[in-house]
Amino acid sequence: PEVITVQELANRMAERGADVIKQLMRLGVMATINQSIDADTAELVVQEFGHRLKRVAESDVEIGLEGEVDVDENLEPRAPVVTVMGHVDHGKTSLLDALRSTDVAAGEAGGITQHIGAYQVKLGSGQKITFLDTPGHEAFTAMRARGAKVTDIVVLVVAADDGIMPQTVEAIRHARAAGVPMVVAINKIDKPDANPNKVRQNLLQHEVVVEELGGEVQAIEVSAKSRIGLDKLEEAILLQAEILELRANPNREAAGVVIEAKLDRGRGPVATVLVQKGTLKVGDIFVAGSEWGKVRALLNDRGDQQTEAGPAVPVEVLGLTGTPSAGDDFQVVDSEARAREVTAFRQRRTKEQRAVGTARVSLEQMFSKI
């Protein structure tokens, strides 16, 4: 019996769907990303990728670096993770800055914010929203291409004076392809030539039906510049989040995704990680893509030291032995030996893939000469 889809298998191994399909083809199995495969085939694939497999029951396979099932009763509500998208100059950066300053702790003495690629806002109500501060469709697409599902909600920014533009349409397409619900932020309503009704009307042409026109998409009028409607936008995000029933198990080893990584002169390799499940703690040993490390320090977007970070919390992680890539999976493992084993395997595989790529190029070059 078929027990797991190719996509789910890829997710659990933190591998790309395309790579899993390729591996299946090598085994003589033709399957698309949404097709299901049986446990024996899944086991073969998992071994090829160098992961361990744990069969929980005859009818289920659980794959992962440490392989632990999150049963329903362990799940707790978590904050939504939001990405802001929209046409250039419609105010994505301005809106992210404005929203960031609605944090109850913002504006406190010494609250110098730094760019770490993501931040979390705590509202007066105590509710929290995580914003990925990497506006741009490329980042979103790159993450998706690597199989990382990081965003729960897309905030589509449309300037009320400019209306729907090509990148607005592109953003709608991205959100839809990813199956991520949208909240529309009609920005720049402070401008004299703002026409929010026209925006609502024109969204119809792209099958985005806002509530005012009988649909289900919330559209909020805001001004990032004049700080109008920010609380309403946050309310709309939280309402959408409620519908999604976002939950995660905080009481397990942490797993998540690398949002940003860089080699810092003074601090060495530094990664901003969005924890998706579990709780990351100082001292934890982890794998991030083809790199590993031991958490030396955790810093929030204000640069404050943290002892731990739970689901939906973005943190800067110090203690890496190399610099991973944005979109890489992040997973705490139980020993340094295990971390070395996994990264050695992944680095070897990357090298092999590169070698294959080079061979292909030279073949193409050969043909082009003929």
Q: Which residues are annotated as a binding site for GTP?
A: 86-93, 133-137, 187-190
Q: Are 325 and 347 in contact (CB under 8 A)?
A: no
**Site for Mg ion contains 94 (CB under 5 A):** no
Window contacting ligand GDP (CB under 6 A); options: 201-209, 222-230, 291-299, 358-366? 222-230
Which among Mg ion, ligand GDP, none contacts residue 344 (Cβ within 5 to 8 A by kind)? none
Tokens matching residue 154:
């897309």
Question: How many other C-beta atoms lie within 10 A of the C-beta of residue 296?
Answer: 13
The nearest distance, CB 89 to Mg ion, in angstroms, is 8
CA distances for 296 relative to 23, 253, 318, 321, 367, angstroms? 36, 16, 5, 11, 51
* Burial (CB count <10 Å: 0-12, 13-18, 19+), residue 369: exposed
**Site for ligand GDP contains 202 (CB under 6 A):** no
**Site for ligand GDP contains 174 (CB under 6 A):** no
| CA 338 to chain CA centroid, nearest Å | 25
Which among ligand GDP, Mg ion, none contacts residue 174 (Cβ within 5 to 8 A by kind)? none
Question: How many other C-beta atoms lie within 10 A of the C-beta of residue 51?
Answer: 19
Nearer to Mg ion, 87 or 92 (CB): 92
The nearest distance, CB 226 to ligand GDP, in angstroms, is 6
Q: Are 114 and 148 in contact (CB under 8 A)?
A: no
Window contacting Mg ion (CB under 5 A); options: 3-11, 46-54, 90-98, 196-204? 90-98
117-156: contacts with ligand GDP (CB under 6 A): 135
Window contacting ligand GDP (CB under 6 A); options: 59-67, 81-89, 326-334, 339-347? 81-89
**Site for ligand GDP contains 14 (CB under 6 A):** no
CA distances for 265 relative to 117, 154, 262, angstroms? 18, 34, 9
Q: What is the DSSP letter of 103?
A: S
Q: Please work out the total of residues on this chain that contact Mg ion, with binding judged by CB under 5 A.
A: 2
Binding site for ligand GDP (CB under 6 A): 86, 88-94, 135, 187-188, 190-191, 223-225
